[in-house]
Amino acid sequence: MNCQEEETTSTGLGLTESWFGDVAVVGVSGELDMLTTPELAGGIEAAARKNPSALVVDLSAVEFLASAGMSTLITAHENIAPHATFAVVADGPATSRPLRLVGIDQIFAVYRTLDDALAGVADG
């Protein structure tokens, strides 16, 4: 079952929460910077409170990823990892490249597509 709630925040950041079985997917669109990352953190925390077996943050529609966004992802991983699998979808120069350059892809799994991430968290 895939139900989705869409929300556009006051800063223009788009957040969605979708469920694929017991896997939560937080979809993000817009720019992740110092102003918008608290809203992302809130969206991740809201999904995590529902006790998913895995939580995937989908950055496919993110146009800019600042260091504040990367820090938010690391913090989310640290908070979620004891209870659930954490993964990120990132592809392209705006998201995947910075995550790989900084080495964040060594901290948690980074997938190119949502389908790859869903298959990956199902296996692990």
CATH number for the domain spanning 37: value is 3.30.750.24
Tell me, yes or no, whether 93 lies in a domain: no
**Cα–Cα distance between 29 and 54 in angstroms, integer?**
20
What's the chain's average pLDDT?
Answer: 91
User: Is the predicted pLDDT of residue 55 greater than 90, yes or no?
Assistant: yes
Number of independent structural domains in the chain = 1
Tell me, yes or no, whether 42 lies in a domain: yes
Question: What is residue 1's predicted lDDT score, i.e. its pLDDT?
Answer: 47
Tell me, yes or no, whether 82 lies in a domain: yes
pLDDT bracket for residue 12 (50, 70, 90): confident
pLDDT bracket for residue 82 (50, 70, 90): confident
Pair 71, 33: CB distance under 8 Å: no
Tell me, yes or no, whether 14 lies in a domain: no
Full domain range(s) for residue 59: 31-88+104-124
Tell me, yes or no, whether 99 lies in a domain: no
Tell me, yes or no, whether 49 lies in a domain: yes
Tell me, yes or no, whether 96 lies in a domain: no
Question: What is residue 42's predicted lDDT score, i.e. its pLDDT?
Answer: 96
Tell me, yes or no, whether 1 lies in a domain: no
